Amino acid sequence: MPNRIKRWFFDQMAAWCVLFRRRDMALEYYGKMLELDPGDTLALASIAFQTAQQGRKREALAAFDRLLAVQPRDAEAHFNRGFLLQELNDRDGAVAAFERAIALNPDHDRAHYGLALSLISARRLEEALIPLRRNTKLQPMSPYGWYQLARVQHELGRTEEAQQVLDHLARFEPKIARQLERETGLSASTLS
């Protein structure tokens, strides 16, 4: 059987295994794809993602590093690497990975949000405002960036700015706005 057909077969089998939540079997098929082509970026990315889904964060991180050795301009891989580093409490590594993802794709809204969370975790609140503002611009209807933006502004003592964000958030996500009210002591003008 020619390698191209084998690769297609292994890819299809891996997809079915993922569908039926048989990640170990899927990883075996992705491994067979790598035997055919050690630089197969789909197989490398899939191994990294499936390993992360299994909670094996350090192995997944190594798999993303292997993918990035082959495809260094993959913004999504840098983002996923940052996410794993964030979960492993490597704030500086996470910040660097998210910044690299953003450098490769300035409109990567989740990388901006991840960068902000890592900066907040490192208590670099003033720096966190920039990626939070960018995230809310890229995802104006997602409450998470707005919520974090208001919290950071409130913590920095910028009560008026935090109030404006709270009022904005209350217009489209009242549940999150109420949580923010409880946490900050502010009151949204549009909530009863």
pLDDT digits (tens, 9 = 90+) for 2-12: 788 999 999 99
Maximal C-alpha separation, the chain: 69
Q: Which domains does the chain have, with CATH numbers?
A: 1-62 (no CATH), 73-140 (1.25.40.10), 141-192 (no CATH)
Tell me how far apart the alpha carbons of residues 44 and 65 are, in angstroms, rounded to a whole number. Answer: 10
Report the length, in residues, of the chain.
192
Specify the pLDDT at position 190.
Answer: 73
What does the pLDDT average to over 137-141? Answer: 96
Which of 169, 75, 173, 62 lies closest to 186, judged by CA?
A: 169
Tell me how far apart the alpha carbons of residues 184 and 172 are, in angstroms, rounded to a whole number. Answer: 19
pLDDT in tens, 80-107: 999 999 999 999 999 999 999 999 999 9
* pTM of the complete model: 0.88
pLDDT in tens, 30-70: 999 999 999 999 999 999 999 999 999 999 999 999 999 99
Can you say whether the dihedral through the CA atoms of 191, 157, 133, 97 is positive or negative? negative
Q: Apex CA 191: angle with CA 189 and CA 192, to 5°?
A: 110
